[in-house]
A and B are shown apart, each in its own frame.
Chain A
Amino acid sequence: MPTMDPDAADVARFLAGDRSGFEAIVGRWQSRLVSLAWRFCRDRATAEDMAQEVFVKAFRSLASFRGDSAFSTWLISIAVNTFRSRLRAEGQPLLSLDPNRVFATARGPSRDLEDRERDEHVRRAVLTLPERYRDAIVVFYFEEKDLGESARILGIPEGTLKARLHRARELLKRRCANLDPLGANLPKVKEAS
Chain B
Amino acid sequence: MTPDDLDRILSSDDALEPSSGFLKNVMAAAQELPDIPPPTFPWRRFLAGQAALMVMAAAGTPLLEKWGAGLTPLAARLAPLAAIAPEFGCAVAATLVAVGVAAIPWLQTRS
- Using a CB–CB cutoff of 8 Å, the interface residues on chain A facing chain B are 19, 22-23, 26-27, 30-31, 34-35, 37-39, 44, 47-48, 51-52, 55-56, 59-60, 63, 103-105, 118-119, 122-123, 126, 137, 141, 144-145, 169, 172-173, 176-177, 179, 181
Contact = CB atoms under 8 A, between A and B. Distances in A.
12 contacts: A22-B27, A23-B23, A31-B16, A55-B26, A56-B29, A56-B33, A105-B16, A105-B17, A141-B10, A141-B11, A172-B6, A176-B6
A31 B10 contact: no
B3 A22 contact: no
Given A26-B23, A59-B33, A60-B33, A34 B18 contact: yes
Contacts of B30: 19, 22, 55-56, 59
Contacts of A38: 14, 16
Instruction: Please tell me the size bucket of the interface on B.
Output: 20 to 34
B15 to A, nearest CB: 4
B9 to A, nearest CB: 5
Contact of A60 (B3, B16, B27, B36): B36
Contacts of A181: 5
Nearest to A145: B11
A105 B10 contact: no
B12 interface: yes
Contacts of B18: 30-31, 34, 48, 51
A123 B13 contact: yes
Nearest to A103: B14
B72 interface: no
B71 to A, nearest CB: 45
B11 to A, nearest CB: 6
Contacts of B22: 30, 34, 48, 51-52
A63 B36 CA distance: 10
Contacts of A118: 9
Contacts of A103: 14
B21 to A, nearest CB: 10
B1 interface: yes
Contact of A176 (B1, B16, B19, B27): B1
B40 interface: no
Interface string B7-50: 00111111111110011011101110100100000000000000
Contact of B26 (A56, A137, A144, A172): A56
Contacts of A56: 26, 29-30, 33
Contacts of A48: 18-19, 22
A135 to B, nearest CB: 13
A48 B22 CA distance: 8
B23 to A, nearest CB: 5
Contacts of B36: 60, 63
